[in-house]
Amino acid sequence: MTDVAVIDYGMGNLRSVEKAIEHVAGSAKVRVTDDPDVVMRADRVVFPGQGAMPDCMAEMEARGLHQAVVAAAAQKPFLGICIGQQMLFDHSQEGDVTGLGIFAGQVRRFPDDKMIDAAGLRLKVPHMGWNEVWHHGEHPLWRDIPDGDRFYFVHSYYVDPEDPAVTAAHTDYGLRFTSAVARDNIFAVQFHPEKSARAGLQLLTNFMHWNP
């Protein structure tokens, strides 16, 4: 039986993530855990996050999860969500904090001077709501998800990878930003699949069936 670990480092509510994965997981066992050993033993790992990245990094470190996350990201099907995606990068402007460095690049705040829509009106930050996700090439996690389908976002910072080849999708909001990254066994998204209705559940289903 497949074991899925949802990494819990005490930041925010993981119940939605847990319930959505359970909803699509079939016979798989879903465990919300802050135990590095459970993460190490799991077959698949989900790395969610919400709130502020400096707090997320600090709480993750305090629970001794750093190594387990890095090890999981090196070998298992690994899904990062929201701050869980941002933490995979080198560094964030938010609190000038160092990330895990699994992807080369920066986490940047939506710049004030770009937050203008086509009609000249100011775009709100956080970027909150349903926006289009445009695929960069094919990936097993996009199976049965139409290109440009909408997912639910809520964030003020976005990832800016050094290597454009890791971008798995982009979204437009004032500027064009990377809304999903993929490399080998890692897939990570800025949006919330657990809150994105049918499209989100499909992505989670695809993750559960993914054998990179």
Residues at the site binding another protein, with contacts judged by CB under 8 A: 12-13, 15-16, 19-20, 23, 50-52, 117, 121-132, 150, 152-155, 172-173, 194-197, 200-201
Q: Which residues are catalytic?
A: 82, 192, 194
30 vs 72 by CB, closer to another protein: 30
166 vs 180 by CB, closer to another protein: 180
17 vs 73 by CB, closer to another protein: 17
Shortest separation between residue 169's beta carbon and another protein, angstroms: 15
Shortest separation between residue 40's beta carbon and another protein, angstroms: 27
71 vs 154 by CB, closer to another protein: 154
Shortest separation between residue 41's beta carbon and another protein, angstroms: 26
Shortest separation between residue 67's beta carbon and another protein, angstroms: 26
Contact 154, 192 (CB under 8 A): yes
